[in-house]
Amino acid sequence: MIVPRTSRREIMHKLRAKVESRTPILISSAGSGLVAKLLEKAGADCVNTFSGARLRANGMGTMSMLWPILDSNKQTLDYTEQDILPAMSGDAFVCACVNANDPLKDMVSLVERLKAMGVFSISNIGPSISYVDKDSEIYRVLTKSGITFQNEIDMLKMAKERDMVTIGLAFDEEDSLQLVEEAQPDIFCFHAGTTKGGLSGYDSGEVIEETAARTEVVNEKVRKLKDDVILIAHGAAMETPEDAQYILNQTTCHGIWTGSSTERIPIEKAVFQTAKQFADLRYENQKGGSA
């Protein structure tokens, strides 16, 4: 087979057209080819891949990717090439979420490999140092050893110079402003936190009104640094389509990024409910043979 190719110019043209027509952009994570195919068929503009999504597909939580149990970039590159790209028709583009702090991989080589396989968008979230609390001892140890947010920013800058569509993510206001000012990403997503719901979601107790308010505070400030940046919302209390609609109504976001909401949680519900119906079947008569 031949994987459909695209380009930075084509991707940005489609995204700008949606912004101008006031049609929300949908970015969604996929941990398997089947999910990617369904997301694209449903109308997702971008399917993103990263090791956390693959782990979710295996029943683990997203944060499992932070432990030294796998080579995050290898996982992302391999399943993007083998599972995701062959499953897609080209209506949606693929964004690879990579670990810019990988000490064993040159980011320039990694970007060129992604482009060679048909990926023309990249993000800094696979994983990001931002997952670690800044006031923690482990954060101080990591940054002292060279695992830094700056490496993620530098990767985004380099990728944009090589005609990749860049999607920058940050978890707090300080990192958001630094990333947008320095990396000038095409798309910025304020990561409000791990999505609640399902078997492995984390509920911080925050309600959708609070998620929307925190997101908009950051939106207003990053727009002053790059007035044409495309703004996307993600995470925390944004679990359902109704939650996402609230975000679109109450913020200046141009779209949303769904992970567990369109990947893990629907699978959990559908498979469990259907399997339970099969498991609950009983004989309605005794004509069946005995074992």
User: Two tokens at 233?
Assistant: 């919302």
Query: Tell me, what's the pLDDT at 61?
Result: 62
**Domains, in order of start, for the chain:** 8-279 (3.20.20.70)
Compute the distance between CA of residue 19 and CA of residue 113 in angstroms, rounded to an integer.
30
Give me the pLDDT at residue 67, please: 60
Q: What is the 3-state secondary structure (H, E, C) of 42-70?
A: HCCCEEEECHHHHHHHCCCCHHHHHCCCC
pLDDT at 156: 98
Distance of CA 177 to the CA centre of its chain: 20
Average pLDDT for consecutive 10-residue bins of the chain (291 residues)?
A: 93 98 96 94 96 69 63 92 96 97 95 97 92 92 94 98 97 97 98 71 79 97 98 93 97 95 87 95 75 56
Backbone angles phi, psi at 97, to 5 degrees: -95, 115
Q: Measured between alpha carbons, how far is 17 from 49 in angstroms, rounded to an integer?
A: 24
The set of residues, in sequence order, having a beta carbon less than 8 Å from that of 269 and lying 6+ positions away, is 198
CA distance 264 to 200: 9
3-state secondary structure of 92: coil
Supply the pLDDT for residue 288: 58
